[in-house]
């Protein structure tokens, strides 16, 4: 009678099997989320728990800076126009 043992623990009986490499695995070596062995076939790139960090605050910061610069520039132009009108009105 043939009995499967974990590929990492020869003294333990295999209760799972890797869906990628087909190797027998014990509870400790089996990844239930990926249904693969933790040692070789556990690919963290396919894990959905890793959230991509987007530099959104930096973008909004620069959007605010550009908006403020535009407002300041518009006010400066308005002041220049008013001063010019006052000077030429004399």
Q: Which residues bind Zn ion (CB under 5 A)?
A: 6, 8-9, 18, 20-21, 26, 28-29, 36-37, 40-41
Location of structure tokens 């930096």? 58
- Eight-state DSSP code of residue 12: S
Report, in Å, the least distance between residue 32 CB and Zn ion. Answer: 13
Euclidean distance between CA atoms 2 and 56, whole angstroms: 58
Report, in Å, the least distance between residue 3 CB and Zn ion. Answer: 14
Largest Cα separation within the chain, whole Å, is 112
Q: Which is nearer to Zn ion, 4 or 40 (CB)?
A: 40
* Size of the chain in residues: 90
Report, in Å, the least distance between residue 50 CB and Zn ion. Answer: 20
């Amino acid at each position: 009678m043939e009995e499967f043992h974990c590929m990492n623990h020869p003294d333990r009986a295999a209760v799972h099997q890797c869906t990628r490499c087909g190797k027998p695995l014990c509870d400790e070596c089996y990844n239930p989320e990926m249904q693969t062995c933790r040692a070789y076939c556990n690919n963290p790139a396919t894990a959905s728990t890793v959230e991509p960090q987007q530099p959104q605050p930096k973008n909004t910061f620069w959007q605010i800076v550009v908006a403020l610069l535009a407002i300041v520039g518009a006010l400066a132009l308005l002041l220049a126009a008013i001063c010019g009108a006052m000077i030429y009105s004399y």
